[in-house]
Amino acid sequence: MLEVQNLSKKFGNFQAVKNVSFDIEPGMIMGFIGPNGSGKTTVFRMILDFLNPEPGGKITWNQQPVNKQLYNIVGYLPEERGLYEKMTIEDQIIYFASLRGMKHQDIITQIDEWMEKFAVKGKRKDKINTLSKGNQQKIQLIATLIHRPKLVILDEPFSGLDPVNADLLKQGILELKAGGSSIIFSSHNMENVSQICDKLAMILNGEQVLYGTINEVREQFGRVRIYIESNKWNQESLSEIEGVESVIRTSPDHYTLNLSDESYGPSIFQKITQGQYISMFSQQPPTLEEIFKLKVGDRIHE
């Protein structure tokens, strides 16, 4: 298990990270979210022992300090991608996997399997510079994951991937989870976080502002969204219901109601349905996308 406690980092007078804490158990995926420049990559670099935290900060893996002796169990995909363009696919993967302690023959026998898993368009003897950017990213992902690391850190792994290839990556991450790996990744796509993460942490300007399971984080904001489908109401009439702050028409007969308080839910249900069947009535907390925008907007206006 990875445990991060009271992690802080200054660069001169600039406070890049302040008192960040979280843990990731085996077989768990954590999304690490926040706008650009919020300190996510700095936290990753401290976990990997590339940067030293300020005194009082503590990082352990299975209750042992993280150090270079543990690198063989770590898979790290940095935000700044980096491959040797004149190497072949095969030689590139062999090089990185061997740095993680894998034997040459074990690497060779797995390359085709991993290329098929990520649908790489290319042959193992093709040079990196002949591949598209998307396929180059897949090769770097393979090099990151082929040794089946127990701790996986992925910095914006979905960046630049189309939906089909993003799904392939998700399946690869879920496979590692099923094998007991502890996984943390940063992303600006809240849908990806919602779909595969067990928990999340959010930092803004270096400070941790949210932490918990996906449901715990969403429930903190109350069930202040109601989604309905009905041809008997319109945006104007829905806006007049007590407790409704605003209404968004998302498509014909589909509306999102924003409530001033979740306690209005039962009375709104009675008002809208009037004892009759309607196609949809669902009271939910805000989505992660809405929460992200809310927290970032609040911090900007402080």
Which residues does residue 210 pair with via DSSP β-bridges, in sequence order? Answer: 202
The answer to whether the CB of 278 falls within 8 A of the CB of 266 is no
Phi, psi angle pair for 127, to nearest 5°:
-80, 150
Cα–Cα nearest to 202, from 214, 192, 5: 214
Q: Above pLDDT 70, what percent of the chain?
A: 98
How far is the C-alpha of 188 from the C-alpha of 192, rounded, in Å?
Answer: 9
* The two structure tokens encoding residue 98: 């061997």
Cα–Cα nearest to 8, from 57, 60, 67, 61: 57
The answer to whether the CB of 40 falls within 8 A of the CB of 46 is no
The answer to whether the CB of 6 falls within 8 A of the CB of 19 is yes
The answer to whether the CB of 70 falls within 8 A of the CB of 61 is yes
Q: Taking the domains of the chain in order of start, what are their residue ranges?
A: 2-219, 225-284
- Prediction pTM value: 0.85
Alpha helices, DSSP H only, in the chain?
A: 40-47, 89-99, 104-117, 133-145, 163-178, 190-196, 214-219, 235-239, 265-273, 288-300
pLDDT at 300 over 80: no
The answer to whether the CB of 126 falls within 8 A of the CB of 142 is no
**Weakest-pLDDT range from 19-28, 70-79, 144-153, 171-180:** 70-79
CA dihedral 253, 291, 190, 198 (to 10 degrees): -110
Residue-wise pLDDT for 96-137, tens only, equals 999 888 999 999 999 999 999 999 988 999 999 999 888 888
List all residues 6 or more positions away from 210 whose beta carbon is below 8 Å from its beta carbon: 200, 201, 202, 217, 220, 291, 295
Residue-wise pLDDT for 150-169, tens only, equals 999 999 888 878 888 889 88
Residue 296 has a pLDDT of: 86
How far is the C-alpha of 141 from the C-alpha of 133, rounded, in Å?
Answer: 12
Mean of all residue pLDDT scores within the chain:
91
Task: Please compute the mean of the pLDDT values over residues 196-223 and round it to a whole number.
Answer: 94
Phi, psi angle pair for 122, to nearest 5°:
165, 165
pLDDT at 201 over 90: yes
How far is the C-alpha of 256 from the C-alpha of 180, rounded, in Å?
Answer: 39
Buried b (16+ CB within 10 A) or exposed e, 275-287: eeebeebebebbe
Q: What is the CA radius of gyration of the chain?
A: 23
Residue 142 has a pLDDT of: 92
Q: Which amino acid is at 11?
A: F
Query: Fold for domain 2-219?
Result: Rossmann fold (3.40.50)
Residue-wise pLDDT for 243-263, tens only, equals 999 999 999 999 999 999 999
